[in-house]
Structure 1
Amino acid sequence: MKVLRTGLMMLCSIAVLHTAKAQEVNDTAKLFAEMKTLQGVYQQKALSFDIRYTYASELHPEQVLDSLSGHADIAGSSYYYQMANTEMTANDKYVVTLFKEDKIMYLSKPVALNAADPLEQMRASIRTAGVTRCSVTEKGAVKSISVGFKEGGPYKELQMNFDKSSGYLISMRYVLKTTMLMETTGGANAEVPEGYGEYAIVQSYYEHYKQLSGKEKAFDSAQFFYKEGDEFKPTAAYSEYKVFVGSPDLQ
């Protein structure tokens, strides 16, 4: 079973623990305000960074059962996101998703949620999961946001760590139901294989940040397809791909 689903997602030394300061945030409005400030870093700069995910069962958190690595480029509402055999390129008009293993090109309209922005993804999850507790903590060079969710829900807890100087997201650790990561027809009602446990621990790491320079062409959908009449056709570079249109009124 492939546990990590492709769509999805630093400790300070003991010496600085005594200087840590924490602020309890008891409502989601304050939490979102804090995240919005941090998210501004990704909206104001064109950034490139690598992503790494690891998966473990809550029963044995020390044992990594699966991992994925990828990359993201973000420039305003345009982005490029690569994870395993899937690539997604978006601009203000199109979202082009390549399923490289199956040679499928899926075309759709852009949506409000930026798939390459980890903070925007988490804001959407937090809004629907039901927050019961949250806090903002600073330890040395790292600012952390910790969130707890309603008992029995899809999410149990989440922690996000940021570099205070740059504002960049360093890592995330979230505990969620294992069924949310299973690629099975049973979905949320699927049976969890023995040994996996009800909850999974997914950790994501964001590394090698760079500011994008002269990469506007990377978001140009013309490199993937062209339109002939009412039909979308792959360019020569992607001639092996079959094109599927996900938005009926795509122009």
Structure 2
Amino acid sequence: MAEDIATFTIDQCRGRQKVLRQKITGYCTRMRKVITNKLSRREATRLLDEARTLLGDSGPINDRLLELLEEAEGEQQQESFLRYGGDVDTVADEVAAYISSREGDEASVPGWDPADPEVVAARQRAQDAAKVYQEAARAAEEALKEMEAAKQSVQDLGEEKDLNGDREDDFKSIISVPPYKPVARVHAPDEWITNYCSGREKPFVYSGDHRHTSVRVDLENIRLVALLGVTHKYDIDFHSDVLAFYYYTEA
């Protein structure tokens, strides 16, 4: 994915320019070490090609900055760009002089001739590969940014889902409470006794859970007077908050 430098901001241009200039300076330093230590001429040539490639890449960045900056800052930018270009040209002259000074010497790498067509072709392939690598690196950088953005979106979605999940749990806890069910038949005590005595009401036996303490009390001489004045004896079971008539016998 090629970058559109025409859309770069000043900060983006300066950030990219800083990276390119650091690399150019590094290549120039390495070329001078090769010359000082009389090392491989091929290495010196390769480093020079890399430095020139980076300098070419910095050209569009420089042009974009000249469009964005004020006149005074633009002049300083142009001077700085030309200074780096001058540094590369100076080192290029040093490399050329070094190669000339070693003309006729055996190659540091046996079988290598700088003028050999195969060597020239290999150099061109290296330059093309370097440009392809730069494009791939930029594409990888963009892909990484997209991945980070996608990851952040997933995280944001997960946090939102967690919040919704909490609200659902709260809602479930509310609706899970069983609704109050009123007793279907509500009778006054005297009415219940009348119904019971006439056989219209069956004895009720409590069969709930055992979380409540129940006490069975047999009362031999509890007598209740019904509406008809009949005396009865009851065996009564007390269970926590429920009073149930267990069975009925006449006195």
Sort the TM-score into its range (normalised by shorter chain).
under 0.3
TM-score of the two chains, using structure 1 as the length reference = 0.23
> Which has the larger Rg?
2
Scaled by the length of structure 2, what TM-score is found?
A: 0.23
Structure 1 or 2: larger strand share?
1
Greater RCO (CA < 8 Å, at least 6 residues apart): 1
Which of the two has greater helix per residue? 2
